[in-house]
Structure formats: structure tokens, C-alpha cells
Structure 1
Amino acid sequence: MKIEGSGYGGTSRSGADRVWADNAIRTIRAESNRSADTHLYAVPLPEQWGIQLYLKDESTHRSGSLKHRLARSLFLFGLVNGWIRADTTIVEASSGSTAVSEAYFAQLLGLPFVAVMARTTSQEKIALIEQFGGSCLLVDNAADVYAAAEDVAATCNGHYMDQFTYAERATDWRGNNNIAESIFGQLAMEQHPVPDWIVVGAGTGGTSATIGRYLRYHSHPTRLLVVDPENSAFYPGWLEALGRGGETVKPSAGRPSRIEGIGRARMEPSFVPSVIDHMVQVPDAASVAAMRHLHAYAGLHAGPSTGTNLWGVWQTVAQMLSEGRKGSIVSLMCDGGERYAGNYWNPDWLASQGLHPEPYETVISRFLDTGRWSAPLA
């Protein structure tokens, strides 16, 4: 339903814009107020290990993914800055999930929405964007989404949301019900309420920046592990930023990530290397393996970026075991597996991509049976 601005009796265009923006902000905040928090699931591990693993299920947001939080923040950021008005077309460059969530909020405010995405984006995500009233512009080269989105915004009275620039600044890292504050609140009654590690992926860099800053602001000893798929620029960029460029690393080939939703062919402005304690580069087939293993082991049906998280989680659990440490680890279930029925959950598609997850699934299963990790620790 389109929000109408009711002026203060013959107000100017700027006054009407302000009234509309006030109503839009109120609408978004009301939507948030109606929404319950996402679940924090305890994933069973052998009791004798003394380690607890939790997955925060971000797929339960109305728009179905972790990006619901980002989209809400980006809309509020655009509104308070005066960038979004009653006649603005919202435009975004995305690998899919952010576009789905932004389409939802654009529909909530009665605004047109255009998603610029790579042609390889899953059909399930494209259908969701269209279900929320958005339209999709698909480009052949994923690296072209930025320029194409800018062009669309410039020609249609639009605002380019630019998640890759504004993700780290649109979210209040001090608290205000961000994802880090939510995690610590939900852990309050657990055996280890302050986790040893939080494990997340790097897509825009916004989630890792928010969590890393929150941990430092509140003086928590928790360390932040960021996982990154092969070919992504974030991992080598992190090494370089910390003066470790001489370490052995498979460099980015300038190709888009095969793990939809995370990994980039360039360092994005929202990625903040200095708040990250450790990074792990994850083979794409290992991401798929961990995603599939989670479904068989815990009955949680997730997408491939959750698998990337879990490959880092299992290595972290193995490291804690080898050091005789007890404690807790938290990671994220970023979105649901139903968005990837035609690709990552499709054996024929995996074979066509040269992705063979079976050896990595064996590593995980053997680890949970024996407590011994048989792959290199990153």
C-alpha cells in the first residue's frame, strides 16, 4: 500500500517529502516491532567434548534470509539521509538475497524496485523478487552489476542502495537490536553465555563489521572468524591489510564466487579487515558438503553460504578440542535450502560445475565420530 504524505497545510515539496519519510520510517519500525527474533538452535555435539554449537536461523525473517536485517537498515539509512522519497525507484546490485529483502521493503512502502543481478542467480530468488513486486535486470558478467545498477538509477529517478558501500555504516554496531546484541541476549542462560568464537561469511562485509565492532565496544573476549569461498578477494585482502601478504594464499582470479550470496571478485568498501581475528578460505565443494551434512545431521535445510560457515565452524571445534578448551561457538544459518533447489541441492548441477562434495562430507562425519579432523586446518 503506497504511503501518502499529509502536509502541514500547504507545505512545500521538501515539507511533503519529510512527512512522507516520517511515515515511511514509522512503517518500517512498526514492521520490526511486529517481528519476533530469529531462533538460536543448539546443534548437538558429543557431550564429552564440552563444546556447545549454536546456529542463528536467519531464514525465519519474512523475506527469508540474514539480508532482511541489512535491507531494513539500508532503507532507514536512505530515508534519514533524504535519499528515498515517495517517487523514488529503489535499485540494487545483488547476488539475490539482499534484493529479495529490499523488494519486500520497497513493496511495504509502495516503491518500485529493480534488482541488477548476474544471470546465474537462482531462479528461486528471481521468483521471490518478482513475488514482492520487484523486477530483475540480469547481466552476463557479475562484475557489471555495479555499473548497471548506477545506470538504471540514473535513468529512472532512482536511488542506488549500494549495499557494498553502505552495509557497514547503516547498521548501529553499538546495539539497537542488531544481530550481535541478539546473539548475546539469547545465550544469556546457556552454559557458556559468552562464546569463544562467532563464525560468519563475507558477502558485503556488513555483518562481520557489525559483530566485530560490537565485540570490541562491549569488551567481549569473543573472537570473530570470517570464512570466505575460493576465488573471493576478501581473504587475500585481509592478509594484505594485516601485513601478511607473503603468506601462501590462492589469490582472487577476478571471478565471481560460486557460493551464491558471499565472496566477491573485489574488496568491497563495507569489508573491515581490522575487526576480524581470523579468516579461513573454504573450498566450494566443502561449502556444499557442510550444507548437505547439516540437513542429514540436524534436520536444518540451509543454503550454501551456511555450509561455508560450517566448514569454518568444524575446523574451529577441532582446534578447540586439540587445545583441550571448552566453550561455545555461534554461527549463522543465512537462508533456507529451498532457494537453491535447482542448483546446490541438484546433483546434476553440481556435477556440471565440477563440484564434488562427497570427500568433504566424509571428513565432517569422521570428525564427529572420532574427534579427529583429517583435513588441513586453515
Structure 2
Amino acid sequence: MRSAVRRVEADANRSADTHLHRFPLPDHWDVDLYLKDESVHPTGSLKHRLARSLFLYALVNGWVREGTTVIEASSGSTAVSEAFFARMLGLPFVAVMPRSTSPEKVALIEFHGGRCHFVDEPGAVYDEARRLAAECGGHYMDQFTYAERATDWRGNNNIADSIFEQMALERHPVPAWVVVGAGTGGTSATIGRYVRYRCHDTRVLVTDPEGSAFLDGYATGDPTHTVPTSSRIEGIGRPRVEPSFVPGVVDAMTRVPDAASVAAARWCSRVTGRLAGGSTGTALWGALRVIARMRAAGEAGSVVTLLCDGGERYAHTYYDDAWVAAQGLDVAAHEETLVRFLHDGTWQEPAPA
């Protein structure tokens, strides 16, 4: 166990902290937007942090030992990162995932030595992962339960600690808002707890895509809320409110149309030169909504959101015009909103379809 923990910790020492990029908004707005670029982790996404924490948590609890088969339910990126750590420790890894997961993510999981086990219904991943773990005597990592407790929210170079350290010399060093999506709920829990622990005047906004249960569960106070649909935005949005989602540390939530998520991801890639995934688009749309409201109210300040993973993982979905058209997404209308906002500061969303 000591050797395994040392290997996982060594990965953190080798990996330089991720960059915080200033988004090119007009300087005279006096509202600054920053993107925390989590795509530069060794496995290409925000989930690298989570996978490292989950493996450490499982190791020190004695759940994962030499030869243990690790099973995870995932929409892709967490499985990519967990496959990386499993191979580092010489452990078999199986990802239980929806059949709709992007082929690029499937290829990455297999590249890192993992095996993909597909289900037709996204809501079936949990039970199927438990079944496989019981069948082979393995360990179901269960990111959706343990994400919020495996990460040390007090500091220790977690994502919140990193953001505030990197913001220290900016003109608005304490963000007015940090905007994130929810997949497990672990990131919003970590950031929300951290800002309260450090007594920062920062609010946390969680953006939720179409077909996700989080927003309605948050609004009604029902932690058992489920929906019969599934999210088209990989990495965030779930058919149920996950156990790791902590509503008490979230200040607000907002729904983002899928067309807006895709449009914002593509627009972000053009404006910044950094390919962004769909979940980045969801959070970016929410962050720009916040900035529009701040400007309308005459408020100055800063807003931080995440570049969760790279757009190259979605070449056959969000960046494929044929796929977008088949989904019936009016990306052009939402791109017009973004172009106009950057040009003259006017925020006007398209009418709902």
C-alpha cells in the first residue's frame, strides 16, 4: 500500500499546476473572466484530480490492494483518468459507460489499458458497475458517492486553493463568482466548502444542461430527484441527483440549453485558440450570463470558470456539423448571442425552441 500511495503522490509532484487564462473581454468593462485550464493534466481533463483522490482514498481505506480489479461507472473522462492510475499501479480496470460515449474517450481508456463495458441506458451504469465488481471480487470506485469526500476541501493544492493562489495578483483577486457544471458534484462541493472555510466573498454557480436532474432537485430540495432523460453534454448532467452533490454550498443554479453549450464550446475554441469540450461550453455560457448581469448592475469584479477537457475528444459529436444537425441543435443562433456580446456587451439569448 505504501508503494502505491507513493506512486500516486509522485504523479502530483510531476504534474505542474494547471494554467489560469484571462479570457479576452474588453478591459473597460472592469469585469474579468478567467478559464482554469484543466485540459493540460496528464490525462487531459479535470477528472485527473478526482481520479488521483479516489485512488488515494481507496488505497488508504484498504479497498484497493495488489491485484484488485477496479470498476467505475463513468461517462468517459473519469474512466480515462482512472485507467491511467490503474495501469500505473498494475491493476485491471473496467469502465462501465453509456454506449453513446464519444469514440475518442473509448480509445483513450483502451490506450491506458482499460476495458470498456457498455450499457444502453445511462441510468444503468451504477447497478452494472456494482454487479461486475461483485462478480469478479473487485472494487467499484463509485465516483458519484465518494467525489465530495475523497478531496481535501481545506487546501492541499486542490482546485479551489489553486484558483485563489493564481488570482492573488489580479486586479480583482477574489472572484465574485466561480462557475462550474455538476457531474458528480465533487467540484462544486470542494470550491463551495473552500470559499466558506477561507471566508471569501465568492459565490458558486452551478450550470446544469438539459436532461439533468440536478437543477430541479436543488430547486425542490429533493436529493432523490430523478429524470427519465439523459444529458447530451458528456461529463456533466445526470439522470439523478448524485450523492456527492452538496446543495448547501451552492449559491445558485441555472439551466443551459444544449445548443448554447455546444455554441459556447466552439466559440471559446475560436476566441482563445484552445479546443474546449461541451461541459466547458455549459459553464462558459453561465459565466457570461453572470457577467452580463454584473455589467447591467454596474458591478466590477472577476468570474472564474473551468476549461474541463479538450475539444479533440468530441470531434465526432460537438465539432461534427452532421451530428449537431441530427440532434436538432440551433448552434448558429446561440453563437450570434456570443459574438454580439463580445462586440458591444449586449446579451440577448435566442427564444427557446
Q: Which residue of 2 aligns with 1:213?
A: 193
Partner residue of 1:136 out of 116, 129, 140: 116
| Partner-residue secondary structure (3-state), 2:32 | strand
Q: Which residue of 2 aligns with 1:296?
A: 270
Q: CA RMSD in A?
A: 1.4
Equivalent-residue separation in structure 2 for 1:223 and 1:253 (angstroms): 27
Q: Which residue of 1 aligns with 2:91?
A: 111
Superposed counterparts of 1:230-269, under 5 Å: 230-241=210-221, 253-269=227-243
Unaligned runs of 5+ in 1: 1-20, 244-250
| Partner-residue secondary structure (3-state), 1:219 | coil
| Partner-residue secondary structure (3-state), 1:194 | coil
Given that residues 227 and 240 in structure 2 are in contact (C-alpha distance below 8 angstroms), is that contact kept between their aligned partners in structure 1? no
Q: Deviations over 1:198-227 (max 9, x none)?
A: 000000000000000000001000000100
Given that residues 72 and 94 in structure 2 are in contact (C-alpha distance below 8 angstroms), is that contact kept between their aligned partners in structure 1? yes
Equivalent-residue separation in structure 2 for 1:375 and 1:257 (angstroms): 21
Partner residue of 2:319 out of 326, 341, 345: 345
Letter aligned with residue 338 of structure 1:
E
Given that residues 38 and 56 in structure 1 are in contact (C-alpha distance below 8 angstroms), is that contact kept between their aligned partners in structure 2? yes
Residue 281 in structure 1 maps to residue 255 in structure 2: yes
Equivalent-residue separation in structure 2 for 1:254 and 1:125 (angstroms): 24
1:253 deviates by 4.0
Equivalent-residue separation in structure 2 for 1:253 and 1:115 (angstroms): 23
Q: Which residue of 1 aligns with 2:156?
A: 176
Letter aligned with residue 82 of structure 1:
G
Letter aligned with residue 298 of structure 1:
T
Letter aligned with residue 80 of structure 1:
V
Superposed counterparts of 1:68-87, under 5 Å: 68-87=48-67
Equivalent-residue separation in structure 1 for 2:317 and 2:262 (angstroms): 11
Q: Deviations over 1:210-269 (max 9, x none)?
A: 0000000010000001000012100001111299xxxxxxx9642110111100011100
| Partner-residue secondary structure (3-state), 1:88 | coil
Superposed counterparts of 1:1-378, under 5 Å: 21-241=1-221, 253-375=227-349
Change (3 A) 1:328 1:376: farther
Given that residues 226 and 241 in structure 2 are in contact (C-alpha distance below 8 angstroms), is that contact kept between their aligned partners in structure 1? no
Q: Which residue of 2 aligns with 1:10?
A: none
Equivalent-residue separation in structure 1 for 2:227 and 2:9 (angstroms): 41
Q: Which residue of 2 aligns with 1:12?
A: none
Equivalent-residue separation in structure 1 for 2:327 and 2:226 (angstroms): 18
Question: Identity of aligned pairs, percent?
Answer: 62
Given that residues 97 and 119 in structure 2 are in contact (C-alpha distance below 8 angstroms), is that contact kept between their aligned partners in structure 1? yes
Equivalent-residue separation in structure 1 for 2:75 and 2:81 (angstroms): 12
Given that residues 88 and 159 in structure 1 are in contact (C-alpha distance below 8 angstroms), is that contact kept between their aligned partners in structure 2? yes
Letter aligned with residue 59 of structure 1:
S
Given that residues 242 and 274 in structure 1 are in contact (C-alpha distance below 8 angstroms), is that contact kept between their aligned partners in structure 2? no
Deviant stretches of 4+, over 2 Å: none
Equivalent-residue separation in structure 2 for 1:133 and 1:252 (angstroms): 33
Given that residues 291 and 302 in structure 1 are in contact (C-alpha distance below 8 angstroms), is that contact kept between their aligned partners in structure 2? yes
1:295 deviates by 1.3
| Partner-residue secondary structure (3-state), 1:83 | coil
With the length of structure 2 as denominator, give the TM-score of the two structures: 0.97
Equivalent-residue separation in structure 2 for 1:259 and 1:86 (angstroms): 35
Unaligned runs of 5+ in 2: none
1:354 deviates by 1.2
Given that residues 231 and 252 in structure 1 are in contact (C-alpha distance below 8 angstroms), is that contact kept between their aligned partners in structure 2? no
Q: Deviations over 1:261-292 (max 9, x none)?
A: 10001110000111001111000000001001
How many residue pairs get aligned? The number is: 350
Q: Which residue of 2 aligns with 1:11?
A: none
Letter aligned with residue 198 of structure 1:
V
Given that residues 337 and 350 in structure 2 are in contact (C-alpha distance below 8 angstroms), is that contact kept between their aligned partners in structure 1? no
| Partner-residue secondary structure (3-state), 1:85 | coil
Larger radius of gyration: 1
Letter aligned with residue 43 of structure 2:
S
| Partner-residue secondary structure (3-state), 2:118 | strand
| Partner-residue secondary structure (3-state), 1:225 | strand
With the length of structure 1 as denominator, give the TM-score of the two structures: 0.91
Change (3 A) 1:252 1:242: closer
Letter aligned with residue 76 of structure 1:
L
Equivalent-residue separation in structure 2 for 1:355 and 1:112 (angstroms): 39
Letter aligned with residue 363 of structure 1:
T
Given that residues 262 and 305 in structure 1 are in contact (C-alpha distance below 8 angstroms), is that contact kept between their aligned partners in structure 2? yes
